[in-house]
Amino acid sequence: MSFKVVDLFCGCGGLSYGFHKEKYNIIESYDFFDKAIKSYRLNYKKTNAINIDISRVSFLSLKNKVDLVIGGPPCQPFSVVGKQKGNSDLRDMVPEFIRVVKECSPKVFIMENVSGLTSKKNKDYFNNVIKEFHRLGYKTNYEVLDFRDWGVPQKRKRLILIGSLKEIIPMPKKEFSEDNYVVLSDILPVDNVKKNSLSDIIYAKSPLVKGTFASSLLVNGKGRPIYMNEQSNTITASVGNAIHFIDNQKFFEKYYQGLKSGKISKRGSCSEVGIRRLYFEEMSAIQTFPKDYLFYGSTSDKIKQVGNAVPPKFSEYLAKHIKQFL
């Protein structure tokens, strides 16, 4: 039996990937970002991928005809790195996700979002979301998952909310642990480390030196040093100085110690050998997209698509897991 799926806020197709691979029938996918939809169409030719704001679409024609509704409503309103306006943010599309579930009445739904949705600040909002799903007859389960536990070489925690008309569905079984986490050297060619940087890494004129290296701000932007024998920090949809950079010799940790001991801060661009920002292809690999996955648009467009995506490797495990409850 081929289970029918609708993917909302599908982006370039990271969440769809596992369901497609597991032979689900993804009948329709929706996203407002035209470049992402064009990427989606390149990879899922049999799915009706529609570039539209779903608030303009009625799904009543699909009532009781869909087994699964999946999707990740825009997370900016609840992201800890954003302004955290929550439901006062015009980009909050969680109510639209609820509406589509109500109109389709799928057997199961899966909603992905940032962990900030479950924060103390957004507690009342999230509780109301759960109540809405309960009113629609769904039994829910949610958890903030660390995607490293499913083979993603990246420190990426996301909320997964699963609802079912039949039963409470548990989260998928963890496949990895700290003993065998995938690290960057497992997926990135070591010989790439010495290539020139795509954009400069600029020392902060007034570095913020805190009690720990991780909490300090030594360069302009949100990009942080990463190491080949560890996992990357979260890959985001931002470009320029928000892109992480490889620093295998841990130059910036030594720089931090020097600043703490009273040394004068550096100015201008970092020219240390072996330090450079990630390339788009590497960011895609860290998000676990296969090498032959196709992306449409400029490099900035592609980075936005990859940074917003659910890692395909996690979606594979999720799709396999959900099958037994449909």
**Is residue 49 located within the same domain as residue 162?**
yes
For residue 83, tell me if it sits in a domain. Answer: yes
Query: Does 225 lie in the same domain as 161?
Result: no
Do 135 and 263 lie in one domain? The reply is no
Which of helix, strand or coil describes residue 93?
Answer: coil
Average pLDDT, the chain: 92
Q: How many CB atoms neighbour CB 137 within 10 A? A: 11
Distance, CA of 27 to CA of 24 (rounded, Å): 9
For 47-92, write each residue's pLDDT tens digit.
999 999 999 999 999 999 999 999 999 866 555 444 444 444 446 8
Does residue 152 share a domain with residue 52? yes
Question: Does residue 110 sit in the same domain as residue 218?
Answer: no
Residue 179, in any domain of the structure: no
In whole angstroms, how large is the CA radius of gyration of the chain? Answer: 21
Co-location of 243 and 119 in the same domain: no
Q: Per residue in 152-190, pLDDT tens?
A: 999 999 999 999 999 999 999 999 999 999 999 999 876
Specify whether 12 is catalytic. Answer: no
Give 278-284 contacts, CB < 8 A, sequence gap 24+: 278/226, 278/232, 278/243, 278/244, 278/245, 278/246, 279/192, 279/195, 279/198, 280/306, 282/188, 282/192, 283/235, 283/243, 283/307
Domains identified in the chain, total number: 2
Choosing from 10, 75, 104, 270, the catalytic residue is 75
User: In terms of domains, do 42 and 152 share one?
Assistant: yes
Q: Are residues 202 and 160 in the same domain?
A: no
Q: Tell me, yes or no, whether 14 and 157 share the same domain.
A: yes
Q: Which domain does 167 fall in, by range? A: 4-174+309-323
Residues 164 and 215 reside in one and the same domain: no
In this structure, the answer to whether residues 269 and 315 fall within a common structural domain is no
Residue 72 pLDDT: 95
Q: What is the pTM of this model?
A: 0.92
Residues 154 and 253 in one domain: no
